[in-house]
Amino acid sequence: MNIRFNRYGTMEMVDFYIFRHGETDINKQKRWQGSGTDVDLNETGRAQAACLFDKLKDKKLEIIYSSPLIRAYHTAQIAAKPLGIEVVKFPDLRECHYGVAEGMTFDDVNRLYKEVGEAVFNPGQDKLDVRFPQGESIGEVRERVLTAMRTIAGEGYRCVGLAVHGGTMSNLLGYFGVEKPKVPNCGCIHAFYDHGEFRLAGNVF
């Protein structure tokens, strides 16, 4: 077991509140958007991000680490402002790169890459090698994001927000053993890191 100490030399439990970005026009058009598609929130997405305050206000967040993609970073900024906390970009929290599927409609992906598309949103342990042509695999993304979370857990904070993406959250929920997870825009999950292990603390809220 790879136990990481924080910068103070302790192994105190770290709470993670992980949330998906608000809606974009690409979401609304039912198209695939990964790390190869960098678009901002639409009006609905900005309103959803503002409502995150109600979900997070009692969680005692100390900082939010964000994917560098503008839809996640802008969501984090909106959520962080009334909380009075800092937002820090963390490149390895970015969404999966979906290769040739970037920008494709759900219908086209369902027609051309049905098994891959289904695996992304139900990413069990037997699907870690699945990827779109020219894209990242489910396993590569999972390891990248978990490594980022381990690094963040070593920074000395007790309660951290993570602004990420739908595919990323589905991937993490698959890691926790959740089948066919549903993660709406600005949906949240609570996980914690304790003595080198990640655990899920509840359902999507």
Active-site residue list = 21, 95
Going from the C-alpha of 149 to that of each of 142, 146, 161, 185, the distances in angstroms are 11, 5, 11, 21
State yes or no: 155 annotated in a binding site.
Answer: no
> One-letter amino acid identity for 70?
I
25 is in an annotated binding site: yes
Residue 81, amino acid: K
Q: Is 102 annotated as a binding residue?
A: no
97 is in an annotated binding site: yes
Q: Do the annotations mark residue 199 as ligand-binding?
A: no
Q: CB–CB of 84/58 below 8 Å? A: no
Residue 136 marked ligand-binding: no
Q: What does the buried/exposed string (b/e) look like for 69-88 if buried means 16 or more CB atoms within 10 Å of the residue's CB?
A: bbbbbbbbebbbeebebebe
| Annotated binding residue 6 | no
Residue 191 contacts residue 200 (beta carbons within 8 Å): yes
Residue 96 is assigned to a ligand binding site: yes
Q: Is residue 37 a known part of a binding site?
A: no
Closest CA to 170 of 18, 62, 46: 18
Q: Does residue 74 have a known ligand-binding role? A: no
Q: Is 22 annotated as a binding residue?
A: yes
Positions at the binding site: 20-27, 71, 95-98
Positions at the binding site for substrate: 20-27, 71, 95-98
